[in-house]
Structure 1
Amino acid sequence: MKKLNFLFKTSAVLWILWGFVHIFAGIMTMKGILTDEISASISGIADAVDPSSLTMDYPEAAGAVIGQHGFNLFWIGLITFICAFFIWKGNKNAIFLAALTGGLADLGYFLFLDLGGFVNFVPGTIMTLISSAAILTSFYGYFKAKKS
């Protein structure tokens, strides 16, 4: 049972880190929109793109879409951050909620930004690896505990 607790605690720490980074990224993305610096918000996410190629007059709707993305980063980070404290204790609902919200958010990041070649390896891809590790450790611990 100690091994299973270690898995839940490891997953919880990973989700705390992942959640905090995404809360911060959401705030920074929304800040760029609120201060009318859409290109700063985009280059903060797509960090492999030359920032000078992003300097242009964006339609207000583009800013709204990026702002919505920032809001989504914020709330997804907050949900996984909160779930982490319940995952620490092996809570099944928190394990699956964090996996759904954080895992699917990172799947979209991987499909559209990583595979698209718009990002550098650090920090975004590292966050995808962290969420994957958090999901795997918590799922392994949960299903191992269920068999016991």
Structure 2
Amino acid sequence: MKNASLLLKISAILWIIWGLVHILAGVLTMNFILSGDIPSSIAGIADAVDPSTLQMIYPEAAGAIIGQHGFNLFWIGIATFVSAFYIWKGNKNAIFFAAITGGLTDLGYFLFLDLGGFVKFVPGTVMTIISYSAIIISFYVYFKTKKDASAE
């Protein structure tokens, strides 16, 4: 396949962007939780919700759960960010690793936050579009080159 390298580089760049945004989101979420500001951590994620409706006393367990979410965003961001450099080089395992970690993360986001109407289009929904674009591009390359190789 002629454009395989270019397409994998595009996919890698998309994963780099996605990874960096999720690393930042994880750090910000954990920072709010560690400072005791649960409403701001929720408002940062569910940005279409009126922040004044979030001002209440939350159980400490709710903060711990949201803190865990922030930690998961952080490590998944790192995992996809690192995978991107291997995708750039054409590593097939990295293609599937990023698709599983980033793709399933965004599937949950889409199902519960996007479809629930709790978020604005930017940045979260854009990140879902970015991750699924990266998956589609890299899977296209993987399966097209696999098909081409088996036809020879």
Give the TM-score band, short-chain normalised. Answer: over 0.9
Superposed CA RMSD in Å reads: 0.6
Q: TM-score when scaled to structure 2?
A: 0.96
**AA partner of residue 9 (structure 1):** K
Q: Which residue of 2 aligns with 1:69?
A: 69
Q: Where does 1:1-148 land on structure 2 (aligned, <5 Å)?
A: 1-148=1-148
Q: Larger Cα Rg: Structure 1 or Structure 2? A: 2
Alpha-carbon distance in 2 for matches of 1:50, 1:2:
50
Find the aligned partners of 2:47 and 2:127 in 1 and give their Cα distance. 14
- Residues 16-72 of structure 1: CA distance to partner in whole angstroms, max 9, x if unpaired? 000000000000000000000000000000000000100111100000000000000
Per-residue deviation at 1:147?
Answer: 1.9
Deviations 1:69-121 (A, max 9, x none): 00000000000000000000111110000000000000000000000000000
Q: What is the distance in 2 between the residues matched to 1:91 and 1:146?
A: 13
CA distance in 1, matches of 2:75, 2:89: 22
For 2:114 and 2:56, locate their aligned partners in 1 and report how far apart those are by CA, in whole Å.
24
Separation in structure 2 between the aligned mates of residue 76 and residue 101 of structure 1, nearest angstrom:
6
Q: Which runs of 5+ in 2 are unaligned?
A: none
CA distance in 1, matches of 2:55, 2:93: 44
Structure 1: give runs of 5+ residues left out of the alignment.
none
State the one-letter code of the partner of 1:50. D
Residue identity over aligned pairs, in percent, reads 72
AA in 1 matched with 2:100: L
> How far apart, in 1, do the equivalents of 2:135 and 2:121 lie?
20
